[in-house]
Amino acid sequence: MTSYDVTAIEKRWQDRWAERRAHEAAVQPGRPKYYCLEMLPYPSGRIHMGHVRNYAIGDVMARFQRMRGRNVLHPIGWDSFGLPAENAAIAHGVQPLDWTEENIARMRAQFRRLGFSYAWEREIAAHRPEYYRWNQWLFLRMLERDLIYRARRAVNWCDTCRTVLANEQAEGGTCWRCGNAVRMRSLPQWFARITRYGEELAAALEALPGWPEKVLTIQRNWIGRSVGAEVRFAVLEPRLEIPIFTTRIDTIFGCTFLVLAPEHPRLAELIEGSRAAAEVRTFCEEHRQRTTAERELSIAEKVGCFTGRHAVNPFSGEAVPIWVANFAVADYGTGALMAVPAHDERDHEFARTYGLPIRQVIEPLEGSCDVETAAFTADGILMGSGPFTGLGSAAGRERMTRHADATGFGAERTLFRLKDWGISRQRYWGTPIPIIHCDGCGAVPVPDHELPVRLPEGIPITGKGGSPLESVTAFVEVPCPRCGTPARRDTDTMDTFIDSSWYYFRYCDPHNTELPFGPEANHWFPVDLYVGGVEHAALHLIYTRFFTKVLADLGLIAVREPVTRHLSQGMVVDWSYRCPEHGYLAAEKRAGDWKVHPDQARCGFCDGLLEVKKEKMSKSKYNTVDPDYLLDRYGADTTRLFALFAAPPEKDMDWSDAGIEGCDRFLARVRRLADRLAAVRPAAATGQPPGPAAVELRRKIHDTIRRVTLDIEERLHLNTPVAAIMELVNLLQATSTTLATEAGGTPATGLEAAVHEGLGALALLLSPFAPHLASEMWERLGRDGDAAAQPWPGWDETLLARAQATVVIQVNGKLRARVEIPAGSTESEVVAAARREANVAAHLEGKRVVKTIHIPDKLLNLVVA
């Protein structure tokens, strides 16, 4: 296109789409729907290339499905509560509200500039009262159903963020947000009973074929469904029972001691009056002071303390000592374990450390084992197990569990690693808990008509002490809704994962003032495609599945699983440069003007060589590329195309300056091609069949349509369709040369019509990837309407069937000829054609064909002796 001002043209099309409300959606009962969604972003202020890639993938699918005739809902919103805004307020002396709204405005402008086809009229933001009112409403409905409760628990505490974390947010003993060590701390907290849905959450994973297996595996492991038995051990003194959970009841005759967690609820009662009580209390206190990482079972040294008490093994009648140890976890099972050192590696290590007995009760099916040296943990044959001796492990587990149940000291039990979700946070920037604490009435729900409980604005935020809300008298001091006496409002706020657990239901009905959403949601759900990173597999994606089941039980939605197909996109990675002494700051990199080879990169402070490795793009590692820079230099279409073409969506994408330059050159070629061929129109009908060049071009056009369609629709591949489009451009470019040389003469029969068809198809195929160029090209070709609003092109199968095929002929693997034969020819027909070739006949003379290798329509290899 002779004049193509990227910035001006892209803005013009964006304005046109906005004026026409081209991407807004409404329920159309007679039309198939498609709900396309990307995980809503946190408004950090500026998007990065990870954002561009994630949201470009979703936008391609939304645009493609619209052209396929589907009624597409493609909304966007902001996960705008959370610690970064609060930390910014502390660091820069700004209010979180102002910081957040400014960031949203900036990122919204960037998204619009990239041409993302969002239904902007449905935009939501978690920090606005019209949204978080419904967080509070859902909290109260769950409270009514005993799905929300308050309890004092040992919880994960981050000293840096000054707040409690759910188990999923403290995996590995570090804070998911800041990466610093997490400690255990006893606090009264609000919990959501996600465990009530553990069985369904685990079972329903098997009915999600459109989810990546790696995500399903992470969720299975995190939910951690275990089938075993609960067995109660009677303590000799004082008179109480200690229940244990085990998946290996077949080893119970080998139990030589019990182990309690330091936080076990009956530990204080157990040791009362024991000579070991003081030592146990000291041990427990020291244990509580350790960070969660120090307590990780996989890395911690196994240490413990004898309580001075014994319990009776109900199977053997033997008295076994009771220990308290760091490898028992209070919130898993019953908080108590039966220790069988001969058949458990952890128990074996502890027994060897403290000189406790190791008793073998399982022998291998073949050979022998030395349990004094190492635990034998496999199934085998029971030995030394009373009436159960001689049974296999599986049969032993079944018989022993039935015996415990019949005798009354145990029963079968299913246990989950999943724990109830701690949703309280001791920070300001979140949804206030809608509870008022009254000395007489207890925890009283805020009446629905008083919702939302609004966050007070303009309060001082220091990041020290407890929640900033505690110091706001006007917020805290309120009358009890029941008795009217002075009471105190709860000053905790909700985990921001509450906001993101149901937000895409609100997109369906964002202006509803009576309910979180109305029946319209049943038209759009489930989500047909959800794009987001695998890092959310054990956080958001479990929480939102839980919320969907709760919403279904509340009668708000008819589905119990929210997402049909999920795509976990890969990260954008680039070289990270770090000085061992001065850190990442020493190697600050700005896009386009830092071209030092990695082997030669030196620190700007000490001139020492930098450590170089490929890492996820991150501001903290100074290896980001600013999308605004790319938009200014290349425009939206090139930036989008590179993010999509550089790698398959599910794989990590390496940043490459050469790659984006290549995409820019390709789109420039498309513009020049359209300029040269825009005036081509089909010639008047002559009654003659199209010539070979026209047939070949039409075949390529329709093959490209087929490949692009199937790769997007069925395979969710986005890089290979771009490659196919590039091949079509190459052929159109070659054809343009043919037309130019024939100007003034007689053009090849039907070639103009094929070129005209090819240019139109090219514009339509490019539309999901480079929508601005595609629409501009469509218009300059003189076509009606906007390319993005046209039906997706179909392909003609009859054009894909070749009349002739070129078959490579080899003799003993060496090329000897190429023959043109009718497509679909049999092996004997190809052999006959090959023998007619002089060069092949010469290499067969005097030799015997011992084997033929035939690939239809492609290759024949004659193996001769």
**pLDDT above 70 for 132:** yes
Residues 6+ apart with CB under 8 A from 853: 859, 860, 861, 863
Average per-residue pLDDT for the chain = 90
Identity of the residue numbered 375: A
On whether the CB atoms of residues 211 and 566 are closer than 8 A, the answer is yes
Closest CA to 656 of 723, 595, 603, 600: 595
Residues 410, 338: Cα–Cα separation, whole Å: 13
What is the predicted pLDDT for the residue at 250? 98
pLDDT tens for each residue of 586-617: 444 433 334 455 566 777 677 777 777 777 76
Determine the average pLDDT of the residues in 230-254: 96
CATH class of 30-126+497-567: alpha beta
Determine the average pLDDT of the residues in 161-185: 77
What is the predicted pLDDT for the residue at 1? 57
Out of 8-12, 232-236, 461-465, pick the least confident. 461-465
16 vs 615, which has greater pLDDT?
Answer: 16
pLDDT tens for each residue of 150-164: 998 777 888 777 787
Determine the average pLDDT of the residues in 5-14: 95
Angle between helices 771-780 and 636-645 (to 10 degrees): 120
Is the CATH code 1.10.3720.10 the one for domain 677-799?
no
Phi-psi sector, 333: left (phi>0), alpha (psi -120 to 50), beta: left
575 — pLDDT class (breaks 50, 70, 90): low
What is the predicted pLDDT for the residue at 308? 96
Of the chain, the percentage scoring pLDDT greater than 70 comes to 92
What is the predicted pLDDT for the residue at 534? 86
Of the chain, the percentage scoring pLDDT greater than 90 comes to 69
What is the predicted pLDDT for the residue at 651? 83
Is the CATH code 3.40.50.300 the one for domain 225-416?
no
pLDDT tens for each residue of 744-776: 445 556 888 899 999 999 999 999 999 999 999
Strand 71-73 with 33-38, pairing? parallel
User: What does each C-alpha distance from 717 to 59, 72, 198, 652, 792 come to in angstroms?
Assistant: 14, 20, 34, 14, 17
What is the predicted pLDDT for the residue at 567? 94
42 — pLDDT class (breaks 50, 70, 90): very high
pLDDT tens for each residue of 850-863: 999 999 889 999 99
What is the predicted pLDDT for the residue at 622? 59
pLDDT tens for each residue of 359-403: 999 999 999 999 999 999 999 999 999 999 999 999 999 999 999
**The sheet that has 572-578: what strands, in order across it?**
611-616, 572-578, 653-654
Q: What is the pTM assigned to this prediction?
A: 0.85
582 — pLDDT class (breaks 50, 70, 90): low
Out of 527-531, 587-591, 829-833, pick the least confident. 587-591
On whether the CB atoms of residues 538 and 421 are closer than 8 A, the answer is no
683 vs 431, which has greater pLDDT?
Answer: 431
pLDDT tens for each residue of 489-500: 999 999 999 999
Residues 6+ apart with CB under 8 A from 714: none
What is the predicted pLDDT for the residue at 653? 78
What is the predicted pLDDT for the residue at 298? 46
β partners of residue 805:
821
Determine the average pLDDT of the residues in 217-233: 95
What is the predicted pLDDT for the residue at 744? 47
What is the predicted pLDDT for the residue at 589? 41
pLDDT tens for each residue of 326-343: 989 887 789 999 999 999
So where are the chain's domains? 30-126+497-567, 145-193+432-494, 225-416, 677-799, 804-864
Long-range contacts of 208-217 (CB under 8 A, 24+ apart): 208/561, 208/563, 208/566, 210/563, 210/564, 210/565, 210/566, 211/563, 211/565, 211/566, 212/534, 212/566, 212/567, 212/568, 212/650, 214/534, 214/537, 214/568, 215/534, 215/537, 215/541, 215/566, 215/568
Backbone angles phi, psi at 259, to 5 degrees: -130, 130
Is the CATH code 3.10.20.590 the one for domain 804-864?
yes
